[in-house]
Amino acid sequence: MAKPIINIQNMSKSYELGGETVKALQDVCLIVNKGDFISIIGPSGSGKSTFMNMIGCLDKPDTGKYLLDEKEVEKMKDNELAAIRNIKIGFIFQNFNLLAKLTALENVELPLVYRGVGVKERREAAVACLDRVGLGDRMNHLPNQLSGGQQQRVAIARALAGNPPVLLADEPTGALDSKTSKEVLQMLKGLHENGQTIILITHDLEVAKEATRVARIQDGQLFENGGDWIEPERIDEDGLTLYQNQ
Amino acid sequence: MNLSESMKMALRSIKTNKVRAFLTMLGIIIGVASVIVLVSIGQGSSQSVQDEINSLGTNLLTVSVADTDSVELTEKTINQFKKLDGITDVAPVVTGRVYAKNGQNSAQVSMTGATSAYLSVRDLELGQGRFLTDLETELRSKVVILGSDTASTLFENQNPIDQNILIGGVSYRVIGVLKSVGTSMGSSGDDVIIAPITSAERATGSTTIGTIYLKAKNEEIVERAMYQVQGVMTTSFPGQSDNYSVTNQEDLMETMSSVSGTFTLMLGGIASISLLVGGIGIMNIMLVSVSERTKEIGIRKAIGANQKSILLQFLIEAIVLSCFGGLAGVAIGLGIAKSISAFSTLSISYSWPVTLLAFLFSILIGVIFGVFPANKASKLNPIQALHHE
């Protein structure tokens, strides 16, 4: 069997908040194989954001192991992490996080700029990515000249530009209406069908269900039921209490 | 991420904030311009002082007496000077201030009692008439030569030659008028009356010779002539060396240039302070810029910018600001200096090394004051920066 893309073992993280120690993650284990489309679902305060920061190499765990594409990430220094983020992770954020002063094309080029790719080569790559998300005719627009859905597609193009092994989407539909949400999810599904590994972080079960695997995070602990879906009528208001009773 | 990328990014972010960028640069512009203008003025004035001293003749020696009671220059000493082989002319001088009058016109001027040698020793030229003769000195003739200003004050539009003026109630005949020599080191050389030394001693009431001007044979032997003169002074007035001085133009030039050098340095220093203040302005704006763009820094870090890239981006922005400011400052400084020399009597001397130095200093200031904000930006925590609104 091929080695997993992401292999997290017994990861813990705690931080100080108002004089109290909050255990954001406790002995979390997760294995993601190449080509997986996994969603991680959890309410706010569940440790979801902390876990996302860990997977995205934006933060370092207190204890535990993290192998990302066979690289030991947990011991890396800040600059090494920056390089890993650049090469291994494509971020898609809730509020798009495009640079307002750069055009769509320049935004998509940016990861390649930091990778040191030459002007011509990265332009070609960026144009190809924008074509892929259907924005080939909007390359020279600034983000504020694009709709929310279009902005998120630019962000997806940016995440794809560096051809990273993992796409990490943090509430990618959180700021979009239901129609555009569907489009964006459809697009992610399409990428998955082409073999892209995607990690989708959300609090919305409907969104989470689009993935082939679902993991739930609550109170700093991660549970997974192997994609075995619970019937929708058993879901509470917050969409999560059902797991606690299992 | 190479340098030209960082440069492009810096230029872009400056372009999006033009007014702020201009205001930031203003400090540097003013700083660089004032360094250039003030140093040009300083060097210009020191240049003109040197020119003046040179125009007095470089083979001039001066014996000046500080204490006329202990060092009494007499005919005997003057004759000893005349015998020196390095000296061609000796011109003893007594000076004093007198009140000269011609009809309704009067003037308070300085009177120089001189001998026939004075004209050639001091390199003066006559505009009209003639200079003193030895006979007139001997006979204590009541004749005077007027400086050009004095002549125009007392005679306005008349020809002063062979007219009489009254000095202390005594009538003197005007035999010549000097050509204008301009102002030299703060005293006008045109506001004078020259009379035979013997007559002047009476008119001014000073019988002691305060100054002797000597002319060395040529420029090459000025040093030797000076030793000879000092030799005579030492034998004539042993142990009195504190009460007189023997100087040549070069000594004077050195003194003056050290004075004007200090002056220039001071002006430059004051202007540099404004350059420094401009640098603090840059730092201030860059810090504002960093906190405004925290989110941007977070995004850049998330997609893989390392600390060096962020540091470089902000540092280059600061350097570009100071560099443009410096260039504009150089242009404006040269423009102001040029218009000063065109519209005023101040003499201006450009100094390319100083201009270059001011420009380089402005860039250095960009580096120094850019490092702190840029470093702050590069050290931002990516998670916190991302969630910054």
Q: Within this chain, do residues B123 and B230 fall inside the same structural domain, yes or no?
A: yes
Nearest-by-Cβ selection for A111 from B12, B304, B386: B304
Among B190, B215, B239, give the residue marking a domain's end. Answer: B239
Q: How high is the pLDDT of residue A239? A: 46
Beta strands in chain B (DSSP E): 60-65, 87-102, 105-114, 126-129, 143-146, 164-167, 170-178, 183-184, 187-188, 192-196, 211-216, 244-248
Candidate from B2, B5, B304 with C-beta closest to A82: B304
Interface membership of B345 toward A (CB under 8 Å): no
Q: Are residues B226 and B98 in the same domain?
A: yes
Do B110 and B25 lie in one domain? The reply is no
- B149, B229: one domain: yes
Q: In a 3-state reduction of DSSP, which class is residue A20?
A: strand
DSSP state of A59: S
| ipTM associated with this complex | 0.89
Q: Residue B82: how many CB atoms within 10 A of its CB?
A: 13
Helix (H, G, I), strand (E, B), or coil: what is residue A8? strand
Question: Which chain B residue has its CA at the smallest distance from A60's CA?
Answer: B383
Q: Are residues B196 and B96 in the same domain?
A: yes
- Residue that is last in its domain, among B177, B206, B239: B239
How far from chain centre, in Å, is Cα B326? 26
pLDDT of residue B187: 58
- Model confidence at B1, pLDDT cuts 50, 70, 90, reads low
More confident residue, B315 or A241: B315
Q: Which residue has the tokens 């999810």?
A: A185
Q: What is the pLDDT of residue B322?
A: 92
Assess contact for B270 and B38: CB atoms under 8 A: yes
Over 60: is that where the pLDDT of B185 sits?
Answer: no
Q: Indicate if B281 and B169 belong to the same structural domain.
A: no
| B147 is a domain residue | yes
What sign has the CA pseudo-torsion B152, B154, B156, B161? Answer: negative
What's the confidence (pLDDT) of residue A120?
93
Q: Is B95 exposed, middle or buried (0-12, 13-18, 19+ CB in 10 A)?
A: middle
Residues B93 and B233 in one domain: yes
Residue B64 is assigned to a structural domain of this protein = no
Contacts of B3 (CB under 8 A, 6+ apart): B312, B316
User: Residue A170 has what DSSP assignment?
Assistant: E
How far is A160 from A128, CA to CA, in rounded Å?
10
Same domain, B278 and B382: yes
Indicate the residue type of B245: S
Q: What is the three-class DSSP state of B212? A: strand
For residue B57, is it within any domain?
no
On whether both B108 and B173 belong to a single domain, the answer is yes
Domain count, chain B: 2
Highest mean pLDDT (candidates A220-224, B202-206, B329-333): B329-333
Question: B269 and B195 in one domain?
Answer: no
A-proximal residues of B, 288-307, CB under 8 Å: 295-296, 298-307
Mutate to test the interface with A, among B303, B308, B378, B379 (most CBs of A within 10 A): B303
Phi, psi of B89 (to 5 degrees): -135, 145
**Can you name the residues that pair with B92 across neighbouring β-strands?**
B212
Q: What is the pLDDT of residue A175?
A: 85
- Per the structure, the complete domain to which residue B282 belongs is given by 3-52+255-386
**Which residue does chain A place closest to B385, by CA atoms?**
A58
Half-sphere exposure of A98 (CA within 13 A, CB side): 29
Let me know whether B297 and B381 are in one domain. yes
Q: Which residues pair with B107 in a beta bridge?
A: B100
Write the pLDDT tens digit of every residue in B132-169: 988 888 888 899 999 888 888 888 888 889 989 999 88
For B352-356, the CB contacts below 8 A with 24+ separation are B354/B35, B354/B36, B354/B39, B354/B43, B354/B268, B355/B36, B355/B330
Asked if residue B172 is part of any domain, the answer here is yes
Closest chain B residue to the Cα of A109, Cα to Cα: B303
pLDDT bucket at B371, cuts 50 / 70 / 90: very high
Q: How far apart, in whole angstroms, are the C-alpha atoms of residue B311 and residue B308?
A: 5
Q: What is the tens place of the pLDDT at every residue in A184-223?
A: 999 999 999 999 999 999 988 888 888 988 898 988 888 8
Weakest-pLDDT range from A98-102, A217-221, B57-61, B207-211: B57-61
Residue located via tokens 């989470």? A208
Render B238-264 in DSSP notation, one character per residue.
Answer: TT-GGGEEEEEHHHHHHHHHHHHHHHH
Token pair 């993935």 in the structure block, residue: A211
Q: Is residue B301 part of a domain?
A: yes
- Classify residue B63: in a domain, yes or no: no
Last-in-domain residue among B239, B265, B298: B239
How far does CA A177 lie from the centroid of its chain? 20
Q: Which of B5, B302, B306 sits opposite A91 (nearest CB)?
A: B302
Enumerate the β-bridge partners of residue A213. Answer: A38
**Based on the domain organization, do B85 and B190 belong to the same domain?**
yes
Cβ neighbours, 10 Å, residue B76 = 8
- Residue-by-residue pLDDT tens, chain A, 246 positions: 578 999 999 999 998 888 888 889 999 999 999 999 999 998 888 888 899 999 999 998 999 999 999 889 988 998 999 999 999 999 999 889 999 989 999 999 999 999 989 899 999 999 999 999 999 999 999 999 999 999 999 999 999 999 999 999 999 988 889 899 999 999 999 999 999 999 999 988 888 888 988 898 988 888 886 544 444 444 444 444 444 433
The answer to whether A22 contacts chain B (CB < 8 Å) is: no
